[in-house]
Amino acid sequence: MISRREVLGGLAAVGLTGALSGQSAPADSRIRLPKALTPGDKVAIVAPAGKASGQAHVTLAAAKVRSLGFEPAPSRNILARHGYFAGTDEQRASDMNDAIRDPSIRGIIALRGGYGAMRILDQLDYEALRRDPKVLIGFSDITAIHLAFVAEGVAAFHGPCAESSWSEYSRATLPVVTRNQPYGGCARVSGGDPLVELVPGRAEGVLTGGNLSMVTAMVGTRYSANLEGSVVVLEDIGEDSYRVDRMLTQLLLAGLNKAAAVVFGNFRPRARPGSELVDPSEFTIGQVWRDRAKAIGVPCFAGLPFGHVTANHILPLGIRARVDATACTLSILDPAVG
């Protein structure tokens, strides 16, 4: 396991990359920042997608939130079930809106991912959210809500869910949501995935993206990621190479070549029956990255620690960032909380 000293040392070593030539991309002036979380703040645990496995699941998640220094507040319908959802659309939207509207709630953390967040987007109270922005943390299917928050003018935070391991690395990235100052360079992980330059260059832009499947599914909706001029971060799990190829190609056709830069996280496979039988003629994920990155044609690197991995860095969507694809660094340039 990576030590806190290694994490902090990595932060200092990575630092901010050098100034770019030309004009930097401006921060999005529409974005409202939630207040920084402080010890003892009440944080709602909501299940806007997949269902909880039972009370023990929720109890463990609450203990993890408490270990971060916050007071967990499980939503009233968190144990509800409706097919593969954590309750009906109305129940899940109601829990999200309760957290959004309650002034005593300062943050919202998703219990888990799964599927279902897209189904409640049009039921969320974005007017109340803009009046009192809340820190929203989660990943995987929660990308849909992140993109909706940003589209409606509020920063959102791609990071561990309440049920996640909350590794020492992930905990060390909490200053993204607890300090009103630029976070700076994202730390490397000792013994983690290798960082790989795909297309050289440096660029700045507003962070967007998250789970590749969800970013792709949102194309054409009012909540679609704004790709043009942005730093687009993408990760996924258990997707075959051809599916990753197809989704990246769809995003390319939707304007990913107009992004400022693209950064890939981990795309680790998920065990399936017969998965040990690999056709050597098929493309690897790495080969797909290289092929599609070349077609996209903007600075790009792979291996950033975030998403479906233990070292899941909290990334503030809607906040300005800088990429140096040659050095394989991502730096967060502006405060993400007020």
Are 241 and 278 a contacting pair, CB within 8 Å? no
Stretch 266-291: mean pLDDT, rounded? 75
Of 6, 152, 163, 235, which residue is the catalytic one? 235
CA distance 313 to 160: 8
Query: pLDDT band at 11, cuts 50/70/90?
Result: very low
Residue type, 185: G
Q: Which residues of 304-320 are buried (b: 16+ CB within 10 A; e: fewer)?
A: bbbbbbbbbbbbbbbbb
Are 195 and 301 a contacting pair, CB within 8 Å? yes
Residue 78 has pLDDT above 90, yes or no: yes
Are 215 and 143 a contacting pair, CB within 8 Å? yes
Stretch 18-40: mean pLDDT, rounded? 68
- Those residues whose C-beta lies under 8 Å from the C-beta of residue 240, and which sit 6 or more positions away, are none
Query: pLDDT band at 275, cuts 50/70/90?
Result: low
CA distance 292 to 212: 14
Please report the pLDDT score of residue 54 as a whole number: 97
Residue 299, token pair as written in the block: 């600075």
- State which H helix or E strand residue 105 sits in: strand 105-110
Residue 273 has pLDDT above 70, yes or no: no
Stretch 65-70: mean pLDDT, rounded? 98
pLDDT per position as a tens digit, 297-323 = 999 999 999 999 999 999 999 999 999
Please report the pLDDT score of residue 190 as a whole number: 80
Are 46 and 136 a contacting pair, CB within 8 Å? no
CA distance 133 to 110: 16
pLDDT per position as a tens digit, 114-128 = 999 999 999 999 999
Query: pLDDT band at 268, cuts 50/70/90?
Result: confident
pLDDT per position as a tens digit, 85-98 = 999 999 999 999 99
Q: Which of 137-141, 236-240, 333-337 has the lowest mean pLDDT?
A: 236-240
Query: pLDDT band at 282, cuts 50/70/90?
Result: confident
Stretch 55-74: mean pLDDT, rounded? 98
Query: pLDDT band at 76, cuts 50/70/90?
Result: very high
CA distance 281 to 319: 41
Residue 10 has pLDDT above 80, yes or no: no
Higher-confidence position of 278 and 329 = 329
Classify residue 227 as exposed, middle or buried by CB count within 10 Å of its CB (0-12, 13-18, 19+): buried
Are 204 and 320 a contacting pair, CB within 8 Å? yes
Q: Which DSSP category does 82 fall into?
A: B
CA distance 258 to 221: 19
Query: pLDDT band at 161, cuts 50/70/90?
Result: very high
Stretch 22-50: mean pLDDT, rounded? 83
Stretch 262-282: mean pLDDT, rounded? 71
Q: Which domains does the chain have, with CATH numbers?
A: 42-166 (3.40.50.10740), 181-271+282-332 (3.50.30.60)
Are 242 and 297 a contacting pair, CB within 8 Å? no
Stretch 326-336: mean pLDDT, rounded? 98
Please report the pLDDT score of residue 167 as a whole number: 97
Active site residue 308: yes
In this prediction the pTM is 0.90
Are 315 and 306 a contacting pair, CB within 8 Å? yes
Average of per-residue pLDDT values in the chain: 90
Identify the CA nearest to 288 among candidates 327, 325, 239.
Answer: 239
Crossing angle (nearest 10°) for helices 241-253 and 285-296? 10
Q: In what order do the strands lie in the sheet with 261-264?
A: 184-185, 329-332, 320-324, 202-211, 231-235, 261-264, 300-302, 196-199
Stretch 270-278: mean pLDDT, rounded? 56
Q: How many CA atoms lie within 13 A of 98 on its CB side?
A: 18
pLDDT per position as a tens digit, 190-220 = 877 899 999 999 999 999 999 999 999 999 9
Residue 22 has pLDDT above 60, yes or no: no
Please report the pLDDT score of residue 7 as a whole number: 37
Of 140, 164, 167, 213, which residue is the catalytic one? 140
Query: pLDDT band at 276, cuts 50/70/90?
Result: low
Pairing state between β 300-302 and 315-317: unpaired
Q: What phi, psi does 321 have (nearest 5°)? A: -140, 165
Indicate the SS3 state at residue 163: coil
